[in-house]
Amino acid sequence: MSQEETRVCRVVVGNDSREDASGHYRVWDADCGETLLEGDYVSKANENLEVGTIPVFLSPKRLFLIEWTANGKKYGNHYLQGSVPFSLSQYRSWLPKIAALQNDFDAAKVGK
């Protein structure tokens, strides 16, 4: 691949709390299970901290799964990588992997 087709995805710890945070993070490819970036971090309150980058290519569609701990509590999220549009059937095949992540998000409570 040429250099123009290769990019990087910045991985940033966003600590939007009023307390310093520390913990461990891991980002991996949902399809093959390969760990793409992993490590420990220490972040001051209200700080964005870049912990690394992941080389990515423009054409393939990928799902990155993300887990991290902050002061002993575990969290999870996901990131869709690639050019749009994404196939609905492919996204649906990823949903069980996304749902398996630790996530305290309660859609029924948002906006109340």
Q: Grade residue 105 by pLDDT with cuts at 50, 70 and 90.
A: low
d(CA 78, CA 90): 14
What pTM was estimated for this model as a whole?
0.83
Please say whether the beta carbons of 15 and 53 come within 8 A. no
The candidate with the shortest Cα–Cα distance to 90, out of 103, 82, 35, 6, is: 82
d(CA 54, CA 63): 13
Predicted pLDDT at 66? 96
d(CA 67, CA 28): 9
- The CATH code of the domain that includes 102 is 2.60.40.10
Determine whether 103 is exposed, middle or buried from the number of CB atoms within 10 Å of its CB (0-12, 13-18, 19+): middle
Give the amino acid at 91: Y
* Across 71-100, average pLDDT: 90
Number of domains in the chain: 1
Looking at every residue in the chain, the average pLDDT score rounds to 87
Q: Which of 1-5, 31-35, 99-103 has the lowest mean pLDDT?
A: 1-5
Q: Which structural domain, as residue segments, surrounds residue 36? A: 3-109
For the segment 38-75, what is each residue's pLDDT rounded down to a tens digit? 999 999 999 999 999 999 877 789 999 999 999 999 99
